[in-house]
Amino acid sequence: MDELYQTQLLELARDARKASPLFSATHEASVNNPTCGDKITLSLMIDKNVITDVSVSVEGCALCEAGAGFLLNHATGKSLTEITALGDALEAFLQTENEAQKSPFSTFSPIRAVKNRHKCVLLAFQASSSLQPLS
């Protein structure tokens, strides 16, 4: 794997590991990948349909952490609909062979060929579509 991509993936993974707990979350979801044991808990604060704060807790591989770090870095200021669209675009990127010139997903290029690891990268986005309001 290209050293640049590996460095960028590890930086995203580090972002997920450094995420602070969100004690004032309004929405939360936990999902897991039973195949490999990855688990993500996603916590969001949503005000007027806009994500104002986000936290992730990841028990999993570096690719799972990197996907969660990517979501963490892009969620604030967006709606759930926008986050779902971002996850769908990342999934489409992983499934295609064509390299976009300036894709925001380029860091994940090395993962394209490893189809059984796509779910690891996408698990945080799966959590975003399973969010439940907290009482």
Domain residue limits at 26: 3-133
DSSP designation for 60: S
pLDDT, tens only, 56-106: 999 999 999 999 999 999 999 999 999 999 999 999 999 997 766 678 999
pLDDT, tens only, 101-122: 678 999 999 899 999 999 999 9
Query: What CATH number is associated with residue 62?
Result: 3.90.1010.10
How far out from the chain centre does Cα 10 lie? Answer: 13
pLDDT of residue 117: 94
Containing 50, the helix (H) or strand (E) segment is strand 50-59
The 10 Å Cβ neighbour count of residue 70 is 25
- Counting the structural domains of the chain, the total is 1
Q: At what angle do helices 62-75 and 3-17 cross, to 10 degrees?
A: 70
* Residues β-bridged to residue 54: 44
